[in-house]
Each structure stands twice: as C-alpha cells, then as structure tokens.
C-alpha cells in the first residue's frame, strides 16, 4: 500500500489494521462500531471515502505503466468497475475523457490528433482550391461565343423568359445572373412538373444557351460524403448537378444585355407569322404537363399510385386536340371519383381503380365528342398552382390570359394573334 495514498484520518493505523478495517467494512459489520474501535472521527457514510484507491493490475496506465486504480465504493452501492473511471495514482492519468486528462500521454494524443485534423483540413482546402481552379478554367465565360437572341427558336426564348422570371438575380453581373434552382422558393413551380423543369435546363445547357458560372459552388460538380471526401463523377467537371449550379445566360442582342433581359422579362417577341407552329407545340406540351400534374394530385388525394406510362400521355395528348385543360380537369375529377368509389366498395384493387380512372377519362372524352356534350370547365386548383412557365407563355408572351387554360390548343388562334 502506498502511504501517499492514505487519508490523514487513517494515519494512526498500520497497513494490517487498515486492511482489516476494509475487510470488516465490506463484510457488513456495523459502521459505527468500526469507527469507535478504530478511533476514526468521520460520519458513517464517509468511511469508505477514506479508503485508499483500489489497484487494478489488469489495467496498466498507458502513460507510466503503473496499475490503474478506482475509487472505493460504498458497500451499499458496490458495482462492477467502469474502465472509463480508472485513474493512475502515479502520474495522474484518467480514462475519463470528459475530464480532459492533462497527463503527458493524453496531451500528446490530443496534439497528434489536432495535427492530423489540421493536415486533413489543409489537404481538403488544397483539393477544394484545385477543384475551383479547374471549374474556373473550364467555365471561363470569355471562352464562350454567345448566341444572338434573334437566332434562338421561339421555345428557347420562352424557356429563358421563364427562368429569368424565376431565378434572375436582382443585381445581376457577367458571372452571377441566375440563382441555383435549389434555392428557388416561389409559391408557383417553374414548370408544371419537376421532370419538365429538368428537361428545360438540360436542353438549354446542352446547347450552351445556359452555361455554368465559374462562381458556382464546387458541390455543383462533385459530391461530398459525410467525412468530407469528394466523389468525382465521370467526365468531371463537364457533368453538373443542375439544381446547384449558378448559370449565366450565353445570349446577347444588339442593344446590350440589359435590353436582352428586358425582352425576356416582358416577353415581347412573338411573331404569329413565324412562331405559330412552334407556339402550338409548346402550348400542347405545357397543357399536357398541367393535365398530368392535376391527374397526379387527384390520384394522391385518394392514395392511388401516380406512376404514369406512355398510355396516359397518349390519352392526354389526344384529348387536347379537342378539349381545354380546364375541361380535362373536369374529366379527371369525375373519373377519379368513380374509381375511388369502386375501390371503397371493394369491387377492385387500387391499381385496377387507377386504370379505371385513366380509361374512364379517355371514354368520357370520346363520348362527349360523339354526342356533342358540353364539358364543364373547371377552375385552377389552389393546390396545383399555375407554373411560371405557363404564366409567362400565356400571359406575357401570347397575352391569351385564361384562354390558355380554358381553350384547347389552337393553331388558328395563334395565327390570328398580332403582338409585334
């Protein structure tokens, strides 16, 4: 027993007496009697606190090699030794990390760990700067030959107008013009469906009408895992994560960039003699996506699957030859209500009920044409708001307003418009 470890209240006892005291204490002898017999002046509950630390030869100190020890426990609360609470009586090392041990061993471990973290941070910073340099060289806006606005087709002009309406920076600059999609937070979606929005950006990027800005975050070109390691996609940095990229509009016009932005925001570029056919295709495309979006919403409301294939797309396209979006809304609502009723009456599965709705929309539209029925026109649903693409196309570019929703796509109507 190390005399340095003895409490002063036990100084008058020999080692043998101390061992006897400890043994009799843990054999449940009366504590008050032990205090009297061994002439110890402490309260009964504090006796065990006077005992020397208990050595554990199986647990050597990592710093000095001395056996670690634990504090003696009250006989009423004895439990197995927790290795995290062992300590060294020789050098002061403690296994309890919460106490932030200051012994040489632990201090050196912390220093080495901090040095490793700093080295990892330095290497990651160097790698990050290297990635940024590659992005800047690859997407230097000086290396791109811009399109002239008049050389763009009508569809691409509308797409650019939509993107400017949604994402244009207030104080735009040559390298910072469009916010990344991921921070888009307007109430209305960019297009009727996420798939269509992605298609718009992919098409404009493929043609270099939109180009990634060199100020884009590196995570628009590489992925980073939880440990901070970068994953480089094939063909880096030419593969981009569209939702994270800052884009630059690679288009110009004779009057300058501000005039270009004004054209795009106002949408004053439709020419019925040149653009009618392309405008019809875009109208049909937007209308189809609006119908599918509403169809998905109504299917979700009755917890049916919303996975559509080619069949539904073909049906919607055919209906749009004679019916407006507002009328197809009415058909969809009616047929989903019928299909939901069939399911609730246990006459079919959800999958079959969904097919009932799809086929019902097709049949009802055909019967309406054959019999000359007047299909009621539904209003837009507040839970399926008009997209920015739809607003730009029908309100700003064509000035059709609600006719884009309430009338079937019509080349005659588009050809009769005189806007410029």
Among residues 251, 266, 281, which one ends one of the domains? 266
Burial class (CB within 10 angstroms; exposed 0-12, middle 13-18, buried 19+) of 11: exposed
208: tokens are 């270099």
In this structure, is the dihedral angle defined by the CA atoms of residues 272, 275, 280 and 285, taken in order, positive or negative?
A: negative
Helices (H), 72-193: 104-138, 154-167
Q: Which two tokens stand for residue 108?
A: 């050196």
pLDDT of residue 99: 66
In sign, the C-alpha dihedral spanning 268, 274, 280, 286 is negative
Q: What are φ and ψ of residue 169, in 5° steps?
A: -70, 140
pLDDT exceeds cutoff 90 at 48: no
Side-chain-side CA neighbours of 280 within 13 Å: the count stands at 18
Same domain, 146 and 230: yes
> Domain check: are 253 and 282 in the same one?
no
Measured distance CA(50)–CA(70) in Å, rounded = 13
pLDDT number for residue 94: 87
**pLDDT (mean) for 217-224:** 92
Q: Do 166 and 257 fall within a single domain?
A: yes
End-to-end CA distance of the chain: 103
Residue 110 belongs to a domain: no
Domain C-terminal end among 247, 266, 285: 266
Q: What is the mean pLDDT of residues 308-335?
A: 93
User: Are 300 and 387 in the same domain?
Assistant: yes
Contact present, 365 and 330 (Cβ < 8 Å) = no
**Is there a single domain that holds both residue 216 and residue 290?**
no
> HEC string of 46-62?
HHHHHCCCEEEEEEECC
Same domain, 88 and 165: no
Q: Mark whether 46 and 158 lie in a shared domain.
A: no
For the four alpha carbons of 408, 413, 414 and 419, in that order, the dihedral sign comes to negative
420 pLDDT above the threshold of 60 = no
**What confidence score (pLDDT) does residue 23 get?**
87
What is the reported pLDDT for 2? 53
Verify that 99 and 132 share a domain, yes or no: no
Residues in the chain: 420
Domain with 237 in it: 120-266
Helices 272-301, 325-344: axis angle to 10 degrees equals: 20
**Average pLDDT rounded to a whole number, residues 174-179:** 90
Q: What are phi and psi of 322, to 5 degrees?
A: -130, -15
Q: Cβ distance 82 to 90 under 8 Å?
A: no
- 317 pLDDT exceeds 60? yes
Helices 154-167 & 257-266, crossing angle to 10 degrees?
90
The β-bridge partners of 55 are: 69
Report the alpha-carbon distance of residue 420 to residue 415 in Å, rounded. Answer: 13
- Do 76 and 135 reside in the same domain of the chain? no
CA dist 75 and 27 (Å) reads 9
114 part of a folded domain: no
Q: Are 356 and 335 in contact (CB under 8 A)?
A: yes
Question: Does 291 share its domain with 354?
Answer: yes
Give the H or E element holding residue 147.
strand 147-148
Whether residues 232 and 323 fall in one domain: no
256, 138: one domain: yes
In a domain, 205, yes or no: yes
Biggest CA-to-CA distance, the chain: 117
Q: Is the pLDDT of residue 414 over 80?
A: yes
In a domain, 380, yes or no: yes
In the three-class reduction of DSSP (H, G, I as helix; E, B as strand; rest coil), residue 263 is classed as: helix
For residue 195, pLDDT over 70 is answered with yes
* Average pLDDT over every residue of 338-358: 83
**Is 115 inside a domain boundary?**
no
Kindly list the distances between the CA atom of residue 112 and the CA atoms of 100, 109, 115, 126, 287, in Å, as whole numbers in the listed order.
15, 5, 5, 21, 64
Domain end (from 243, 266, 289): 266
At residue 181, the pLDDT reads 94
pLDDT band at 405 (very low <50, low <70, confident <90, very high): very high
* 113 part of a folded domain: no
The answer to the question of residue 239 being in a domain is yes
Look at the chain and report how many structural domains it folds into: 3
Structure tokens at 161: 């107008």
Within 169-308, strands assigned E span 210-212, 223-224, 230-231, 247-249, 251-252
Per-residue pLDDT at 169:
94
């Amino acid at each position: 027993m190390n005399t340095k470890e003895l409490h002063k209240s036990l100084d008058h006892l020999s080692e043998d007496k101390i061992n006897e005291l400890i043994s009799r204490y843990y054999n449940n002898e009366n504590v008050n009697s032990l205090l009297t017999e061994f002439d110890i002046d402490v309260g009964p509950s504090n006796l065990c606190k006077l005992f020397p630390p208990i050595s554990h030869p199986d647990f050597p100190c990592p710093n000095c090699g001395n056996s670690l020890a634990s504090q003696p426990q009250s006989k009423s609360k004895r439990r197995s030794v927790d290795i995290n609470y062992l300590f060294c009586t020789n050098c002061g090392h403690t296994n309890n990390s919460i106490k932030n041990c200051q012994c040489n061993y632990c201090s050196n471990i912390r220093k080495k760990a901090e040095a490793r973290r700093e080295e990892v941070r330095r290497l990651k910073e160097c790698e990050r700067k290297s990635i940024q340099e590659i992005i800047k060289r690859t997407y230097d806006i000086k290396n791109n030959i811009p399109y002239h606005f008049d050389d763009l087709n009508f569809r691409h002009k509308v797409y650019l107008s939509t993107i400017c309406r949604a994402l244009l920076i207030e104080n735009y600059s040559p390298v910072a013009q469009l916010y990344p999609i991921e921070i888009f937070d307007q109430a209305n979606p960019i297009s009727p469906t996420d798939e269509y929005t992605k298609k718009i950006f992919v098409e404009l990027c493929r043609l270099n009408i939109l180009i990634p800005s060199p100020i884009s975050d590196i995570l628009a070109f590489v992925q980073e895992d939880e440990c901070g390691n970068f994953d480089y996609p094939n063909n880096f940095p030419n593969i981009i994560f569209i939702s994270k990229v800052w884009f630059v509009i690679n288009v110009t016009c004779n009057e300058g960039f501000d005039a270009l932005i004004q054209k795009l925001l106002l949408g004053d570029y439709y020419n019925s003699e040149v653009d009618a056919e392309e405008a019809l295709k875009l109208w049909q495309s937007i209308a189809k996506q609006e119908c599918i979006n509403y169809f998905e919403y109504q299917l979700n409301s009755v917890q049916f699957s919303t996975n559509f294939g080619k069949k539904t797309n073909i049906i919607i396209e055919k209906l749009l030859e004679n019916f407006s979006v507002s009328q197809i809304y009415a058909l969809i609502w009616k047929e989903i209500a019928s299909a939901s009723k069939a399911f609730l009456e246990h006459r079919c599965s959800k999958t079959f009920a969904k097919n009932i709705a799809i086929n019902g929309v097709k049949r009802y539209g055909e019967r309406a044409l054959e019999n000359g029925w007047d299909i009621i026109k539904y209003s837009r649903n507040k839970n399926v708001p008009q997209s920015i693409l739809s607003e730009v196309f029908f309100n700003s570019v064509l000035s059709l307003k609600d006719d884009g929703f309430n009338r079937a796509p019509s080349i005659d109507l588009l050809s009769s418009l005189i806007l410029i």
